[in-house]
Amino acid sequence: MDARHAILFEPVRIGPKTLPNRFYQVPHASGFGSAKPRTQAAFRAVKAEGGWGGVCVEYAPISQDSDEIPAIGADIWDDRDARALGVSAEAIHAHGALAGLELYHGGWSSPNGSSRAVRLAPSQLTSQLQWGGLAKEMDSADIARVQRDWVGAARRARDVGFDIVYVYGAHGYLMTQFLSAHANRRTDGYGGSLANRGRFWLETLAAVRDAVGGDCAIATRIAVHGDSGVPGAEGLPGIHIDDMLALVKMADDLVDLWDVTVGSWPEDSGTSRYYPEGHERPWAHRVKEVTAKPVVSVGRYSSPDLMAEVIRSGAVDLIGSARQAIADPFLPRKITEGRLDEIRECTGSNVCILREETFNHVGCVQNATAGEEYRRGWHPESFPAAADTGRSVLIVGAGPAGMECAVVLGKRGFTAVHLVEAEPEIGGRLRWARRLPTLGNWGRIIDWRAVQLARLPGVQVITGRRLAAADVLEYGADLVVIATGSAWRGDGVQPGYPDPMPGADPGLPHVLTPEQACAGKRPPGPRVVVYDTDGYYVAPGVAELLAAEGFEVTVITTFSVLSPVSDQTLEGDMLRAHLHRAGVSVSHATTITGIGAGSVTGHDRHGEPWSAACDAIVLVTQQVSQGTLYTELADGQALAAAGISGLYRIGDAVAPRMISEAIFDGHRLAREIDAEDPAQPSPYRRERADPA
């Protein structure tokens, strides 16, 4: 280990407990909750194994009126819930780390979709987070009961082995709602002055400390004002930094660990497109001005040098992480072992959040094993040796799926893997996507795999060689994997319109595909339409690229908002504001059905005819698999004659999809290439509810 990084491995005392080092996986959602205890335990345990000194489970609703359904929380309403969560505490302890649980009440943001309980709030006000009726203004009995629920949940957490229990006060939930003068309009002892608005929080901290403070460290998560403010009420200003520092002083004797977040959730978990590594430092580090207690803050840290610098500055005591701990659970161990070039850096794309929020199962674009530790038995650093490592494997295409497949095969011990790419460099679609404005950090997907490929003696990377079917048959490989990816269609085929669009021909000077635009083809005139039916990053990226060169760019999208997928990655509002500042215009809910020499035509959301003058159009409509090579090879007799015992295809060559899913597909095939039928995913373990 580099001596400069030794400070990261000093133990830190928090109340009655001692963290073995300064690496702290903060609470973050997984989609597993207490309903999938083995999945949860395996997901958290791998981080403890990788060297994180503190590992926390996600937010744990303490009562029926903090029910998160349809989202999944780590419910701790009763002893049965607690026993399920205790499986995680035990698994974390097995690797020498402390286990934390974030006790939570959402107030008016709890949907209560399963319990159908009335929502609670300090005051009965309308919020954008509410639908189907207003919350109940809490009376004194409600306040006392919720505090009892918090204490009961803390005792259950302690009894099943958790070392750290939270009184969750951030991200606009119940505690923040009480603290905010905009959300809290009470006239009793819980409203009005700052001290009164903080009373519910202080009383709850005191009650939890009295109950379990001798056995557990008491943590609280707070939000300090960032660029976006603290959303005490949705859409309204929240709590200023000076107010929060005053509240920290009031509560300091009740708290063993301050977990500091910044602004609203989209800022706190800011994507790399709009926030650099360590962007929270100017706000979060101010908390240390008013407390001597340990402070943890996040910042998507992946650089050991920056981590050590932050600790040496005295601004925080622990390096907090959620996304980087998902991308590389073994980051601390790699630092101790001096394997810095093996750190799998977080891309900051927030695909982990998209998967957890949308599919209730966390995943990662960088780490295909995230969320698969229990159900598939995958480990991020351990790869079972192949049954026959001497078989030669030819992978055609070095995009995300092909690169991942080659890396995993190499780590499984295959000694003759050839990764052959037609282009001069590896990366597939990421070759040009990483060069779009704001997407530079996505290039980490290529960079990490390039380093791994160079380190694997059994893998040879060959670029600039395009293989035809005859070349593959003559190559001499035992197994062939087709990873030729996909391309954007230039014929205007789009959802709901399976036939080519009149006038769509990428051979014309005024019709472009995204690949052509990124390769340097430019419109013949200043007015450009970027037509988007994809809904994610490509159309905004190409639009900003052209706008920066002086073109008058309008994005026409079939969606009611530009890039709706970006809302699932917490960057939608920022993306739309960013493009507005870049001078890009947007027209929503509009379908283009024809292209002329100087205009495009179609219809609006109501079916009314629509047209716009333009000099060129970029079609971001639909992708198509580059599957010709696979089709030409899928002849059993020819394969047998060539000595090829297996032909497979992965990633976009099967069907275009998100980069994370293409990487997952390549990883899965490499893990399961010894199976009876590797083309079909092996069954995975599913956790089923106990019928008792």
- Is residue 70 within 8 Å of 115, Cβ to Cβ? no
Distance separating the N- and C-terminal Cα atoms of the chain: 51
Interaxial angle between packed helices 659-672 and 351-359, expressed in degrees from 0 to 180 and rounded to the nearest 10: 80
- Is residue 378 within 8 Å of 372, Cβ to Cβ? yes
- Bond into 70 cis (ω within 30): yes
Q: Which of 173, 190, 275, 531 is catalytic?
A: 173
Q: How far is CA 455 from the centre of its chain?
A: 28
Sign, CA dihedral 168-175-258-208, equals negative
- Is residue 201 within 8 Å of 232, Cβ to Cβ? no
- Is residue 515 within 8 Å of 432, Cβ to Cβ? yes
Beta bridge partners of 511: 617
Distance CA 549, CA 47 (A): 45
Distance CA 265, CA 267 (A): 5
Phi, psi dihedral angles at 572 (to 5 degrees):
-60, -50
Residue 531 annotated to the active site: no
What are the strands of the beta sheet with 609-613, ordered from one edge?
591-595, 599-603, 609-613
- Is residue 232 within 8 Å of 182, Cβ to Cβ? yes
Residue type, 478: D
How deeply is 246 buried, as exposed, middle or buried, from its count of CB atoms within 10 A (0-12, 13-18, 19+)? middle
Characterize the bridge pairing of strands 12-14 and 17-19.
antiparallel
Sign, CA dihedral 634-638-642-645, equals positive
- Is residue 170 within 8 Å of 222, Cβ to Cβ? yes
Closest-CA residue to 397 (of 364, 421, 372, 426): 421
Q: How far is CA 334 from the centre of its chain?
A: 22
Structure-token pair, residue 251: 């509560």
Dihedral (C-alpha) 669, 672, 673, 678: value to the nearest 10 degrees? -80
Burial 629-648 (b: 16+ CB within 10 A, else e): bbeebeeeebbeebebebbb
The residues, ordered by sequence, that sit 6+ positions from 329 with a Cβ below 8 Å of its Cβ are 46, 47, 49, 50, 52, 367, 380
The residues, ordered by sequence, that sit 6+ positions from 205 with a Cβ below 8 Å of its Cβ are 167, 218, 220, 251, 254, 255
Distance CA 186, CA 518 (A): 56
The residues annotated as belonging to the active site are 173
